Each structure stands twice: as structure tokens, then as C-alpha cells.
């Protein structure tokens, strides 16, 4: 008989050369794990279920009369802004949960499995698109309850929601990168919100640009969040896929092109 000798690095070498088809299957399996985790710990969905409702009610009745004269006139301005603010903010959770899993040793256990090494990362990003879809649906539904009737029609509203989900998925690569390189989940959350708060609140999400001080208007006009909010408003309210929508998609593509390789490289060094 001939003895078969397996070197300690053999399994790792095999995982490094997993085919594309198996990588895709493994990634969707890990995405399924993420969905099961959400089902078993529903409190993780508070930010995409409770937050859109509270923010919509609060901003509508506090600022509606002051900014637009009435709630009905404010909703076409507010709902797209709340949608973008809520879903983009939700993308931070990707990095936070990724860091928590790495700290708990979950990803270390994945190393012993005959799966693609990138699958746990890809699966986490895929699973979070469900979170974005939930936040998008609830925001539009809450707006409808309050009296918002998008004049663009159902098809344009769906397209607007997909645009937000795609752009938020792209942004989640930034926070996934923070999740891989940061030392703790708390630091990921702190850094992420430090970046997001100025971008979401110094935008046209809640007030018209011309009501802002002149020294802020230039920043708001170049703010990528403002472009995304305008794109969603154009789609939902007039069924127009304009320049801001193309700018948003181009920005999403640039983010993925830059941060996906950085995140994967940093993750593979630790995986």
C-alpha cells in the first residue's frame, strides 16, 4: 500500500483554488446563514423596521409645516430623503457585524471548512441586501400611510428602491473594509457614523438647498448623498431617470472598484 501524506497547508491550498461556481454556491450558502441569523435574532432588524417609522413620523410632523407649509407638500421631499438616509445608514451594520463575527472566532471556524475563503465575506454582503429591501419597503409604506402618493407610479418607485439598494450595497464595501481592519465593532460604528452623519444631514435630504446658508450650498450640491436623493425624488415623483441617477450609479461603481479589492485583500490576509 502507498501511504498518502497530507501536508498541513494542503487544505488551505485547495480552498485558494476553489472554482467560480463553488465560490458562488458557498457565498449564497453564507448569505442563507445571515438570513437565518436575522430570523433567530429579530432585534437586529430594529434599525430597518422601527427607525424608518420613527424618523418619518418625527420629521414629517416637526418640519412639515415649517419647511413646506403642510405635511402633504413636505412628503414628496421628505420620503426620498428619509429612504436614502435610512438605507445608507443601515449599511454600517455590515462592517459592525463582520467585525463581531471575526472577534468571536466565527470566521476562524470557517477556515476549517472546504469552502471558498471569500464566501463568508461575500455572503454577509449579500444577506444585508435583504435589510436594505426591508427598510426601503417600510419607508415607502409609511409615506403612503401618511398620504404620500408618488406621481411616478409603482414601476418608478420600484426602480427608485432598487437604485437605493444598489448604491447602499456599494457603500457597504466601505464599512466592510473598516470591519476587517478595525480593532473592535465599536470603533467600526464610531468611524462609520463620523463619516455618514455629515454626508446625510448636510445634504438635500430634509430641506431644499436654497434654504441653506451660501457657504453650505456648495458642499450640499457636490455631496453624493444629495445626488442619490435627487435621483430617487425624480424617479418617484416624476418617473425621470436623470443625470443624478447616472452619477449615483457611477459613484457606486467607483466605490466597488476601489473598496472591494481593498476589503478582499485585507480579509484574505486575516482569513
Separation CA 198–CA 216 (nearest Å): 11
Where does the chain have alpha helices with state H?
10-16, 20-40, 46-63, 71-90, 92-103, 106-110, 119-146, 154-181, 185-201, 214-222, 224-238, 243-270
Q: Higher confidence at residue 47 or residue 242?
A: 242
> What is the pTM for the complete model shown?
0.85
Q: What percent of the chain has pLDDT over 70?
A: 93
**Helix-helix angle 243-270:119-146, to 10 degrees:** 150
Q: Hey, where are the domains in the chain?
A: 22-270
Separation CA 145–CA 203 (nearest Å): 25
Separation CA 125–CA 107 (nearest Å): 15
Predicted confidence (pLDDT) per residue in 49-106, tens digit:
888 889 889 989 888 888 888 888 999 999 999 999 988 888 888 888 888 878 887 7
Closest CA to 268 of 116, 126, 93: 116
What local confidence, expressed as pLDDT, does residue 4 receive?
Answer: 45
What local confidence, expressed as pLDDT, does residue 271 receive?
Answer: 59
Longest dimension (CA), the chain: 88
What local confidence, expressed as pLDDT, does residue 17 receive?
Answer: 57
**For the residues 170-174, what does the mean pLDDT come to?**
91
Local confidence band at 10 (pLDDT 50, 70, 90 cut-offs)? very low
All 3 cell numbers of residue 47?
Answer: 434599525
DSSP code per residue over 209-237: GGGS-HHHHHHHHH-HHHHHHHHHHHHHH
Q: Higher confidence at residue 216 or residue 18?
A: 216
Local confidence band at 145 (pLDDT 50, 70, 90 cut-offs)? very high
Predicted confidence (pLDDT) per residue in 91-125, tens digit:
888 888 888 878 887 777 777 777 777 788 888 88
Query: Residue 184: is its pLDDT beyond 90?
Result: no
Q: What percent of the chain has pLDDT over 90?
A: 38
**Beta carbons of 234 and 223 less than 8 angstroms apart:** no
Separation CA 210–CA 137 (nearest Å): 30
The radius of gyration of the chain's CA atoms, rounded to the nearest angstrom, is 21
What local confidence, expressed as pLDDT, does residue 194 receive?
Answer: 87
Amino acid at each position: 500500500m502507498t501511504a498518502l501524506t497530507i501536508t498541513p497547508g494542503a487544505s488551505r491550498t485547495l480552498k485558494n483554488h476553489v472554482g467560480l461556481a463553488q465560490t458562488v454556491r458557498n457565498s449564497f450558502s453564507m448569505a442563507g446563514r445571515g438570513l437565518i441569523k436575522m430570523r433567530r435574532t429579530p432585534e437586529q432588524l430594529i434599525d430597518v423596521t422601527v427607525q424608518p417609522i420613527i424618523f418619518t413620523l418625527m420629521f414629517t410632523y416637526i418640519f412639515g409645516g415649517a419647511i413646506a407649509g403642510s405635511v402633504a407638500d413636505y412628503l414628496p421631499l421628505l420620503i426620498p430623503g428619509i429612504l436614502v438616509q435610512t438605507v445608507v445608514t443601515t449599511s454600517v451594520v455590515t462592517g459592525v457585524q463582520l467585525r463581531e463575527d471575526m472577534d468571536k472566532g466565527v470566521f476562524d471556524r470557517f477556515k476549517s471548512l472546504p469552502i471558498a475563503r471569500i464566501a463568508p465575506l461575500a455572503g454577509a454582503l449579500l444577506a444585508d441586501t435583504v435589510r436594505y429591501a426591508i427598510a426601503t419597503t417600510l419607508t415607502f409604506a409609511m409615506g403612503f400611510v401618511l398620504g404620500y402618493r408618488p406621481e411616478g407610479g409603482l414601476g418608478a418607485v420600484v426602480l427608485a428602491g432598487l437604485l437605493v439598494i444598489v448604491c447602499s450595497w456599494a457603500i457597504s464595501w466601505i464599512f466592510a473594509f473598516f470591519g476587517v481592519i478595525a480593532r473592535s465593532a465599536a470603533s467600526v460604528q464610531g468611524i462609520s457614523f463620523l463619516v455618514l452623519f455629515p454626508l446625510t444631514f448636510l445634504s438635500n435630504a430634509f430641506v431644499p438647498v436654497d434654504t441653506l446658508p451660501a457657504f453650505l450650498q456648495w458642499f450640499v450640491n457636490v455631496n453624493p448623498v444629495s445626488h442619490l436623493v435627487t435621483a430617487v425624488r425624480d424617479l418617484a415623483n416624476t418617473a425621470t431617470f436623470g443625470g443624478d441617477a447616472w452619477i449615483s450609479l457611477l459613484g457606486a461603481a467607483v466605490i466597488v472598484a476601489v473598496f472591494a479589492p481593498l476589503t478582499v485583500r485585507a480579509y484574505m490576509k486575516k482569513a
